[in-house]
Amino acid sequence: MHKPDSHSVNLAAAFGFVLLAGVLIVLPHLLSFSQQEVLVLLVINVLLVCSYRLLTLTGEWSLAHAVIMGVGAYTSALVAKKLSVPVPLAMLAGASMAGFIAFLLSFPLFRMKGFYFLIASFAAGEVIRLSWKWSDLTFLFGGPKGIKRIPAFPDFLTIDFYEPVNYYYLCLVVVAVSLLILYRIEKSRIGLTFHAIHWQDKLAESVGVNTFRYRTLAFVFSAFFAGLAGALYAHYVGAIAPNRFSVEEMVYILIWAIVGGTATFYGPIIGVVVLTIVNEIVLRSLGVEEMRPMFYGALLIIAILFLPNGLESLVPKIKRLFRGRDKEGNGSLASPQVAE
């Protein structure tokens, strides 16, 4: 069978990267103002769901990730508003606090596995989220109404980040760098250990791997980037409230990951992009946005029944389809046995 050489593969990858970069740069200028705002939130959600995938590499699925995002949002908002810290530093503080909270939670949570971890993570997340509503702490967190008038990202030279297009480019740079870091972590020895713990945790322990330490590491890394996503959200929207980080939002993160698939790095990205397009174009054009939970639930069931490995499993099939057409178009180069 004819196999493409590495030079051809690298060339195709470079061409695909340049094409994707060009699309991402031009895209906001082809959209309306409201669509540009959706695009900003979509980029932030890409970081959120990719950070969640890092935790799933160890085999654990948390129900606290939306709240962890909220920790980053609340911390960044409070540090910028109450302490007048510059917003970029406040964002880093928010991400760091999210990682620190994950570190503290890891001690009780990673004493459990599977279903028990899932439920315990939900309970821990609700304790944090409800503390933001607690009346005695209203002076700090704003109670059920949350925090308003959060400082926006400061202007840089003549660039006004209050404009959706400019903030989109800012988010694009931050998310691209974050995804690169997440990708390098996954491909590193640490990432391979995450995979080993997922599939053979007892075997990994038998050869000296401290599974608790590596699960904690995955939890802290994923929380840091979820907190960064929360900080980007808070300083763009300008107001946050506890209900923004409720279990309903957590379910959306789960559905993005499951429908997109978590076997590959790009699987969750496909999930969040496709579902956002369906939600913002199909449901909105039909005037049934309020049916989003029902639609997402139905889509989740359909995906589990007919596409258990997620939308990412379609990518190799599409590649084989194009390769088959290419071979048909160059029939003189392929024998019947090669073309199968």
Q: Read off the pLDDT of residues 254-284 as tens digits, 9 standing for 90 and up.
A: 999 999 988 899 999 999 999 888 887 777 7
Q: How far apart are CA 268 and CA 259, in angstroms?
A: 8
Q: Which amino acid is at 256?
A: W
Helical axes 33-56 vs 65-82, angle rounded to 10°:
120
Q: What is the mean pLDDT of each run of 10 residues along the chain (340 residues)?
A: 61 78 88 90 94 91 94 96 94 96 94 90 94 87 91 86 92 95 93 88 84 93 96 95 90 90 90 87 75 81 84 83 64 40
Burial of residue 31 (CB within 10 Å: 0-12, 13-18, 19+) is middle
pLDDT of residue 308: 81
- Cα–chain-centroid distance for residue 144? 26
pLDDT of residue 9: 64
- Joined together, the tokens standing for residue 225 give 């980037």
pLDDT of residue 339: 38
- Count helices and strands in the chain by DSSP H and E runs: 15, 0
* pTM (whole model) above 0.85: yes
Answer for the pair 254, 96: CB distance below 8 angstroms, yes or no. no
Q: How far apart are CA 164 and CA 240, in angstroms?
A: 18
pLDDT of residue 312: 87
pLDDT of residue 63: 93
